[in-house]
Amino acid sequence: SPLLIDYDGSVLPFLGGLGGRYQRTLVLLTWVPALFIGFSKFSDSFLLDQPDFWCREADGQGNWSGSLAPGHANRSGNGSIFPPPGLPTPAGGNASECDCHEWHYRIRAGLVQNVVSKWDLVCDSAWKVHIAKFSLLVGLIFGHLITGCIADWVGRRPVLLFSVIFILIFGLTVALSVNVTMFSTLRFFEGFCLAGIVLSLYALRIELCPPGHRFMITMVASFIEMSGQFLMPGLAALCRDWQVLQAVIICPFLLMLLYWVIFPESLRWLMATQQFEASKELILQFTHKNRMNTESDIKGVVPELEKEITRRPKKVCIVKVVGTRNLWKNIVVLCVNSLTGYGIHHCFAKSMMGHEAKMAITHNFYADYYTMAGIALASCLAMCPVVGFLGRRGGLLLFMILTALASLLQLGLLNLIGKYSQLPDSGMSDSVKDKFSTAFSIVGMFSSHAVGSLSVFFCAEITPTVIRGGGLGLVLASAGFGRLTAPIMELHNQKGYFLHHVIFACCTLICIICILLLPESKNQNLPENIPDGEHYTRQPLLPHKKGEQPLLLTNSELKDYSGLHDSAAVSDGISENTTANGMKSM
């Protein structure tokens, strides 16, 4: 029935949109866990931060055993061989002096002990820190891909609840790890479960909202998650020990066990997959919670549901998108945008911190941490008016152009300035180049963060409800691959950094062209099934002038090209002496 397919136009207004008290409560319940998610996502900065470290002789007399190899002396989260101020400076040595009986640490991240100091992950064991960082990100990637498909098959609510149960099990077990191998393995499963929570809440939040409120509701969740990032240093300072910090981060998820009782399945997903019996029960639950009278059902949604109640459920897997004409292209474009945005963000961050000397611009962990968080916050604040004015596609295009400009200027112009400053009469010092580099890096981090976040939201809007979990899983996994480039570059000691930046700079240029092919989803109803998603057509960036003939088809004018095959079959019965335009051949 067209009435049941048009969820935003018939079912949601009947339930009161966001005006209903029950709907507002559910939206609030999707916001609260964002704070816990923010704690979990940024815990690596504290659990795995490389502290300053030095070696004390085994006799315990306080004599310094000497410095490490020169390659370990530089630090940007890679530790230091220098003792704290006021202690004797170690004498010069060589790499063999990594053989130390007892390491002493000064942790910069507010903790007395973290994973690195617990198991002495320095010198020849430093690579294990990067593997531990891999584990959470790889778990997130696999979790997004797998839980996204499961959410389309069994529903958003079961994925959310089972992810909460298992993140409590694996997350608390992480705090009991006896070695770094156990820690890394459990962090993988923690990331997997965290991905299920993130994806299911994102989908539920989008599917609860009417068209005019989707972006606002999503941005509020982003700000709450960001507040977790800002509060994390204080939480670490209170906990002091990494095991206590890990337990404090995970324990709030216990509150989400109550969601089994108070949070329903997505009504939009139930109706899109033709589970009309469950849909009817949920609609009655909504009307009861909102104290509504069923007589307000002017369009007759409930009677129409009763007619279709015998239909069998029709669930769809994300692989079905391969046979579409436009939908798969839109999803691929947004996945590449997400990968590029989060991948090049690391390039700008390393450039701002000085990847050559590995010296942070502020020489302070908290200043570096809050600088990154502040840029992300400014990016989200800027997204609100830009997307409200330009729309999803226009905002994404603007931020991608800014990212490309910052990247190309940093790669090209700074190289030119560096060569010019070496001339004896130039009067230009290296500090000018450093200031330009910092400015371009801040602009690039600002815009690339917006590109990544907006790509995920855009994909959630244009992907049909029946496969929204799978589509979100793909774009979030692409974002995870982009983030994964950071520990990969650190593991290789920043080798290939320039090529890494060049590749992503080229990707930004490709993305600018591809974004023009995307449709605009601002104030549009969410597509419920794959044909709806196929009918999303791109519109011109600028409005038509009065009397001007549009060059692109509108939704009502879009033709179903699959009919060409039927017409070809019919034409086989036409006489051979008839041409394609109906004229008889001579």
In a domain, 564, yes or no: no
Residue 380 forms part of a structural domain: yes
Assigned domain for 425 exists: no
Q: What letter does residue 20 receive in the DSSP assignment?
A: S
Residues in CB range of 254: below 8 A, 6 or more apart: 168
Whether residue 361 sits in one domain with residue 241: no
Q: What are 142-159's pLDDT values in tens digits?
A: 999 999 999 999 999 999
Sequence letter at residue 177? S
Using one digit for the tens of pLDDT, what is the confidence trace for 246-268? 999 999 999 999 988 889 999 99
Q: 52 pairs with which residues across the strands?
A: 80, 106
Say if 560 falls within a structural domain.
no
A 10 A CB-CB count for 182 gives 13
- Do 477 and 372 share a structural domain? yes
Q: Say whether both 277 and 373 belong to one domain.
A: no
Strands 50-56 and 78-80: parallel
Residues 349 and 310 in one domain: no
**Percentage with pLDDT > 70 across the chain:** 76
Helices (H), 354-413: 365-408
Residue showing tokens 């989400």: 256
Q: Please check the confidence at residue 86 and state whether its pLDDT lies above 90.
A: no
Q: Are residues 231 and 109 in the same domain?
A: yes
pLDDT tens for 400-417 read: 999 999 888 888 776 666
Q: Is 63 helix (H, G, I), strand (E, B) or coil?
A: coil
In 3D space, the residue among 36, 9, 383, 30 whose CA is nearest the CA of residue 208 turns out to be 30
The answer as to whether 546 is a domain residue is: no
Asked whether residue 284 falls in the same domain as residue 387, the answer is no
The residue from 315, 335, 360 where one domain ends is: 315
**Residue 427 confidence class, pLDDT cut points 50, 70, 90:** low
The pair of three-digit structure tokens given for residue 512, joined into one six-digit string: 């600018």
Looking at residue 311, what DSSP letter applies? P
> What domain range includes position 397?
318-418+435-538
Residue 505 within a domain = yes
Task: For residues 158 and 160, give the distance between their C-alpha atoms in angstroms, rounded to a whole number.
Answer: 5
Q: DSSP letter string over 86-135?
A: TSPPPPP--GGGG--SEEEEE-SSS-SB-HHHHTT--GGGTHHHHHHHHH
357 and 277 in a common domain: no
* Cβ neighbours for 230, distance < 8 A, ≥ 6 positions apart: 370, 373, 377
Give the DSSP letter string of 204-258: HHHHHS-GGGHHHHHHHHHHHHHHHHHHHHHHHHHH-BHHHHHHHHHGGGGGGGG
User: Nearest-CA neighbor of 337 among 456, 447, 500?
Assistant: 456
Is 80 exceeded by the pLDDT of residue 120?
no
Number of domains in the chain: 2
Query: How many other CB atoms are found less than 10 A from the CB of residue 205?
Result: 22
The answer on 292 and 404 residing in a single domain is no
256 and 334: one domain? no
Global pTM value: 0.82
Domain containing residue 386: CATH number: 1.20.1250.20
20: pLDDT confidence band, cut at 50, 70 and 90? confident
Give residue-wise pLDDT tens across range 469-515: 999 999 999 999 988 887 777 766 656 567 878 888 899 999 999 99
Flag whether 339 is in a domain.
yes
Q: For residues 208 and 138, what is the distance between their CA atoms, to the nearest angstrom?
A: 30
Domain identity same for 151 and 288:
yes
Asked, for residue 260, whether it belongs to a domain, the answer is: yes
**Separation between Cα atoms, residue 221 and residue 202, nearest integer Å:** 9
Point out which residues pair with 102 in neighbouring strands: 56
d(CA 260, CA 278): 16
Same domain for 394 and 497, yes or no, is yes
Distances (CA, A) of 228 to 88, 96, 225, 232: 39, 42, 5, 6
Query: Do residues 323 and 309 both lie within one domain?
Result: no
- End-of-domain residue from the set 290, 315, 340: 315
Residue the block writes with tokens 């917006």: 450
